[in-house]
Amino acid sequence: MCAFAPPEFVGAASGFTGIGLGGVVPCAIALTAEFALWNRRQLYSGVMLSGSSLGAIVSSFVAVGLLPDYGWRSLSVVAFAFIVLVPMMYSLLPESVNALISRGRLDEARAVADRYGVDFEAGLREHAAYGACRAGRGYALAWISRICRWWCVLIRESACPARHSGIC
């Protein structure tokens, strides 16, 4: 779609994509840590994080090869080719044991834990601990709200061009 869109749309779509991809790395780290063997979690997390950097390097080389002859729109066409991987990953990646436990699907959680060697009992303990801590989340949200208000005050009182954007 971006290959045939005006540049303004491409800029907005890139911004939204960046926000969405900002959540991919934490989710990948969480899945890697959950399914990795206890004594290999750091190694597997490091390898997984290196994969995103390697992807950036490879995409840069692809861009260097395609841009001179085909322009920037060709990069969107190449990126679209990787959309095929999404259904494949959706069908191959297991559901998180902790997510299954939190939804009360304990039989499925136990089956996934047994298949991948995840400690099911540890997941139950984490879920119980999270339930006990959940009562304090209102306190954390209040602090986040205060920090955001403080940030807006700083922007309004500064000479920053963002103060005219209507954000604060």
Give the dihedral sign, CA 81/83/84/88.
positive
Which pTM value belongs to this model? 0.55
> Cα–chain-centroid distance for residue 134?
22
Q: Where are the domains of the chain?
A: 1-78, 94-168
Written as tens digits, the pLDDT of the chain (168 aa) is 556 667 677 777 777 777 777 777 787 888 888 887 778 888 888 888 888 788 888 888 988 988 888 887 788 788 777 777 878 877 887 888 888 888 888 898 889 888 888 878 877 777 776 665 555 555 565 556 666 666 666 666 666 555 455 555
Residues 153 and 75: their CA atoms lie apart, in Å, by: 40
CA 109/CA 124 separation, integer angstroms: 10
